Amino acid sequence: MSIEVSGFFGVIWLIATIWAIVRTIQSNAGTAKKTIWIVLILLLPLFGLIAWFFFGPKG
């Protein structure tokens, strides 16, 4: 299964992914949790980003 994103939606997707990774790195979570979230966001693009939005580390 492959998700192919291009054009304007692709740029928005890239910005959202980078923003999620930066917010995860800046959070107060432990190193292991940060690593797991980043891997999840990168390996499961749609599900990982949605899961991070609802369940990811805050603040």
Please determine, for residue 4, whether its predicted confidence score (pLDDT) is greater than 80: no
| Largest Cα–Cα separation, the chain | 36
- Considering only CA atoms, which of 17, 34, 16 is closest in space to residue 26? 34
* pLDDT number for residue 7: 82
* pLDDT number for residue 59: 67
Q: Could you state, in order of their start, the residue ranges of all structural domains in the chain?
A: 16-55
pLDDT tens per residue, range 5-45: 678 888 888 899 999 999 999 999 999 999 999 999 999 98
* pLDDT number for residue 3: 63
* pLDDT number for residue 8: 83
**Between residues 46 and 2, the one the model is more confident about:** 46
